[in-house]
Amino acid sequence: MYPVTRTSARLALRELVVDDVDALSAVYGSAEATRYLSFEPRTREQTGLVVARSMVAAVAEPRTEYALAVRERAGDGPLVGFARLALGGQRAGQIGFALRPDRWGRGYGTELVGALLDFGFDGLGLHRIWAARAPDNAASRAVLTRSGMTEEGRIRHHVHVRGAWRDSVIHSRLAHDPPPT
Ligand SMILES: CC(C)(COP(=O)(O)OP(=O)(O)OC[C@H]1O[C@@H](n2cnc3c(N)ncnc32)[C@H](O)[C@@H]1OP(=O)(O)O)[C@@H](O)C(=O)NCCC(=O)NCCS
């Protein structure tokens, strides 16, 4: 599916473009935003490569990766984060997401995960959507739980980052799970 556009109450998701590199660096290059992610802050050049790879993956057939820019719908609609849904296995997809730190605490994270789940289940017909978070990532835990994603276990030494192995806690939601209350 290309191009993908999705909206929630305050956010809009769209395909990445070359001009997004600087704005995306406020997320990918931020020590605060990447603290619990599986990679260290990226340089502008590295962010540029991610955008380029994502643009190529976006037009692959079949498409297995949806790396999307997240922008605010209000005002000039600045880019405030990124969202990713990667297909794998049988009708399954993994989501990842991050927002600019100056936008945290407004409910955007919950809104964004809701939009990704809608896209995966309704747009792509997936059966299972899952996410992996750092055990200490309390904000992610709150967002995933509130989005109806059940905590289902821990993968030991899932990623090697910042010079050490790190476990991940897995959350998932199935297509037929009841909506979050
Ligand atoms: C995770 C993230 C997207 C959340 O975005 P957000 O817009 O702040 O999310 P929301 O406002 O919808 O909800 C955040 C919740 O986390 C809670 N929270 C934030 N920091 C917390 C902490 N240190 N301890 C406990 N709870 C915390 C907030 O209180 C809020 O819950 P509440 O509404 O019940 O009070 C954002 O923090 C982020 O981009 N982090 C960096 C990238 C990342 O960790 N991505 C997830 C990868 S799995």
Residues 150-164 pLDDT 10s: 999 999 999 999 999
Ligand 1 closest atom vs CA 132: 48
Return d(Cα 87, Cα 81) in angstroms, integer: 20
Question: What's the pLDDT score for residue 172?
Answer: 98
Question: What's the pLDDT score for residue 116?
Answer: 98
Is the preceding peptide bond at 3 cis, omega within 30 degrees of 0? yes
- CB-based pocket (< 6 A), ligand 1: 33, 36-37, 96-99, 104-110, 131, 133, 137-140, 142-143
Q: Over 90: is that where the pLDDT of 181 sits?
A: no
Ligand 1 closest atom vs CA 134: 48
Q: Over 80: is that where the pLDDT of 76 sits?
A: no
Identify the structural domains of the chain with CATH numbers, from first to last: 6-174 (3.40.630.30)
CA of 148 to the centre of ligand 1 (A): 15
Question: What's the pLDDT score for residue 74?
Answer: 87
CA of 49 to the centre of ligand 1 (A): 27
Mean pLDDT for 11-15 is: 96
Question: What's the pLDDT score for residue 91?
Answer: 97
Q: Which residues contact 124 (CB under 8 A, 6 or more apart)?
A: 1, 85, 87, 93
Q: Counting beta carbons within 10 angstroms of the beta carbon of residue 89, is it exposed (0 to 12), middle (13 to 18) or buried (19 or more)?
A: exposed
- Write down the pTM of the prediction: 0.95
For ligand 1, atom 43, which residue shows the shortest CA distance? Answer: 98
Q: Over 90: is that where the pLDDT of 115 sits?
A: yes
Mean pLDDT for 12-21 is: 96
CA of 60 to the centre of ligand 1 (A): 32
Mean pLDDT for 107-123 is: 97
Question: What's the pLDDT score for residue 138?
Answer: 98
Question: What's the pLDDT score for residue 179?
Answer: 85
Largest Cα separation within the chain, whole Å, is: 43
Which of the four pLDDT bands, split at 50, 70 and 90, describes residue 61?
very high
